Structure 1
Amino acid sequence: MRAFSITDIGEKRQINQDYVFCEENPVGGLPNLFIVADGMGGHKAGDYASRFCVEAFTENIKNSKQDTHIGMISEALQKTNDSLLKEAEDNNELEGMGTTFVAGTILKDVLYVTNIGDSRLYIINEDIKQITVDHSLVEEMVQTGEIDRKDMRFHPNKNIITRALGASKNVIPDYFEVNLETDDTILMCSDGLSNMVEDHEIMAIVKEYPDNLQLAAKELVKKANENGGKDNISIIIVKL
């Protein structure tokens, strides 16, 4: 297994509110751990939220007594959310902060994924497949037939998310279990990439550099910035 992570402020933002965690070695009871978080909130609250949640989550995983991967992840997410809400309660400047959160861990040839918000995880092989489902207003509009999926990236409400860590006391993430195939590439990203670069373009760039994850990630960031770079851009690429 090889992995590479990168985060970039983009062309328009003054602060990078994204935070990534990329560890190929065991973290507590998990064999490896990959996380992308995209914070939100005024001043530096989004920056604080994403970093705080990644650090709290990894620490909760290390201390977990649960005996299943999903049990560890579920418990760690709830404890992280509780801690984030407490931080916001204790500091007025952090009130209303929150963050998206997508995490993955690989055990042998099975990928376990959880997400809350609109940061994504894709599997790329002969095609590109989005595994996670965005918790966003535009995704709900697609599901109800109000808009076409191809119009999501350009909709004025594309940045409105419907779930996040810090949004409420109860955490409602989605969980996915994916059987991996030889030569699968896992790509995780914040919406600073997915809103700026079409899925088929993401796939083309990843497949252009199959043996150089660092170059592939940097080319994806470059493409997002060339297309406007309207948000922070964070990417993790994992190759089996």
Structure 2
Amino acid sequence: MKAFSITDIGEKRRINQDYVFCELNPIGNLPNLFIVADGMGGHKAGDYASRFCVEFFTQHIRNSSQTSPIALIEEAINATNEAIYKMSKEQVEFEGMGTTFVVATIFKNEMYVANIGDSRLYVIDSQIRQITEDHSLVQAMVNTGELNRDEARAHPNKNIITRALGVNEIAQPDFFEVELSRGDIVLMCSDGLTNMLEDENIERIIRKNVNDPKTAAETLVKQANENGGKDNIAVIVIKV
């Protein structure tokens, strides 16, 4: 397995509020660990939120005796949410901060995934498949038939998310188990990528660099910036 991670401030933002973690070696009882977090909040609060949550989460994983991957990830998400929620309530400079969070670990041919917010995880095998579902206002409107996907991409409220770490006392992540095959590609990213590139363009770039996660990730970031770079960009590419 090979992997590469990258974040970029983009063309319009002054602060990079995206944060990634990419480790192919064991972290606690997990065989590997990959995280994308996209922070939100006032001046520097979003930057702090994403970094704090990734660091707190990974430390919890290291210290836990839990062996079930999903149970361990859920336990760590709940502890992380409790910590950042408490901080946002007690320190005025962190009021309202939070972060999206998508996390994955791969054991043999099984991938265990959790997400909260609108950062995404895709699998590229014979096609590109979005595994996670955005916790966003426009995705809810798509689900009820009020918008189609093309309308959702251009909607003025597309950046409003309905769930995140740190904004509520109780976190509400989704969990997935995905069967993988040798040669599959896993892509994890923030909306700074998916708002700038259509899925078919993402797939094309991945397939062109299928054996080189570093070039694939760097090309995705470059293309997102060339298309406007309106937000920070976070990308992890994993070749199984």
Give the TM-score range, shorter chain: over 0.9
Structure 2: which 5+ residue stretches go unaligned?
none
> Which 4+ runs in 1 deviate beyond 6 A?
none
Matched residue type, 1:222 = K
Following the alignment from structure 1 to structure 2, what is the Cα–Cα distance between the partners of residues 212 and 83? Answer: 37
Residue matched to 1:101: 101
Following the alignment from structure 1 to structure 2, what is the Cα–Cα distance between the partners of residues 89 and 7? Answer: 29
Residue matched to 1:122: 122
**C-alpha displacement at 1:126, in angstroms?**
2.0
Given the alignment of the two structures, is residue 79 of structure 1 paired with residue 66 of structure 2, yes or no? no
Given the alignment of the two structures, is residue 41 of structure 1 paired with residue 41 of structure 2, yes or no? yes
Residue matched to 2:160: 160
Following the alignment from structure 1 to structure 2, what is the Cα–Cα distance between the partners of residues 134 and 112? Answer: 17
Matched residue type, 1:126 = S
Following the alignment from structure 2 to structure 1, what is the Cα–Cα distance between the partners of residues 74 and 212? Answer: 33
Residue matched to 1:70: 70
Residue matched to 2:27: 27
Residue matched to 1:183: 183
- Percent identity, please: 63
Decide which moves more: 31-40 or 86-95.
86-95
Given the alignment of the two structures, is residue 149 of structure 1 paired with residue 149 of structure 2, yes or no? yes
Given the alignment of the two structures, is residue 132 of structure 1 paired with residue 132 of structure 2, yes or no? yes
1:93-145 CA distance string (max 9 Å, x none)? 11100000000000000000000000000001221000000000000000000
Matched residue type, 1:102 = V
Following the alignment from structure 1 to structure 2, what is the Cα–Cα distance between the partners of residues 172 and 63? Answer: 23
Following the alignment from structure 2 to structure 1, what is the Cα–Cα distance between the partners of residues 231 and 80? Answer: 25
What count of residue pairs does the alignment treat as equivalent? Answer: 240
**C-alpha displacement at 1:150, in angstroms?**
2.1
What TM-score, normalized to structure 1?
A: 0.99
Following the alignment from structure 2 to structure 1, what is the Cα–Cα distance between the partners of residues 206 and 70? Answer: 29
Matched residue type, 1:207 = R
Matched residue type, 2:170 = N
What TM-score, normalized to structure 2?
A: 0.99
